[in-house]
Structure 1
């Protein structure tokens, strides 16, 4: 992605493929342009050069096959958990009975059964993030983009949410593009990890972790080895 002036170059000649049903992690230092890259994939920002392609065809703007979970949950405070999760299908004109059944399925999937009538102000940070994940899934995407969704959570809740999103992914088998600046999280979650350089972002290396067994143990020697290798190859933010 290029701005009109070279001084504001953010994404520089990045090219990679995303495979169906994989859990892809994009890792990079702070202020590397990760969110800009995600917003382009999601159709929220148009690239000033190059293209985003889906199944070989260039896409322009927001595509209903792609849904996004943001850093901030951005829940509608005047709507309940049920109302937030069903918001996408409601806008799409989904029949009420089907919309409610789908919403209940994903509310149960993220472990919030019994909180359907609760409002965001009544939920913890981790619960709000689960509502955001359920809402994204309920929109019926083929690809789910997650922009550092657990970054604001405490360590214990973050570990719990990492396990929860893996559990959901293994059940639903939708393609996930997950962005983080946390190396351990990247190694724990990803089938592949794309390491970006500092801004302007380039792909430094792609790590294939698909042969690592799950559930992964962050104290395992091989896990620590690859974490150290990625750490040594990661740019400082500035």
Structure 2
């Protein structure tokens, strides 16, 4: 996985000279079943905008890497664990997982066809090409709630990076993922002792309680330190054996 600085540099190299920071430049705009999704370049950064709301950019992937690493560490040395990543985004989580040879099967579920396209042969391929080419990687273009309720596959870890997390969703349709019913689906695809790791733009004691009420154990939260403002966090929980 590239560092935050080199990731943005690689992305800008693909898109051309960033020039002055100025106004964002739209690289692609799509209308899909969930509304409008836009990829734009702002200076050296690539940004994803959904229905007019900023979701993420290529400025800093530390918390996404924490999401993957925290799940891996919580598995207590399980050999070649299978991981399901919910949400492709700008690709930080996938790229970091693929860089770690200890992971076995890596499955990514992403509902937006545009996002998958931007990684396959668009501007975001500068960040994820190696991960996409990794034989362990499978990309499933599906809604995650539908996927976890219908798939016959099971996983040792489920890393969720959907919207802004459980306490601050841009798309109201994503709220169900973090509800008791949504978490039941997450538990369904986890093997006994499997780890659920949930990225969030801010801590949520309420979500921790929801996890406990859904039957998860060893619920805890890891924070990503920031210079100012509210830290990104990863909520961790274990499906009982």
Query: Whose radius of gyration is greater, 1 or 2?
Result: 1
Q: Which has the higher strand share?
A: 2
TM-score interval (norm. to shorter): 0.3 to 0.5
TM-score (norm 1): 0.34
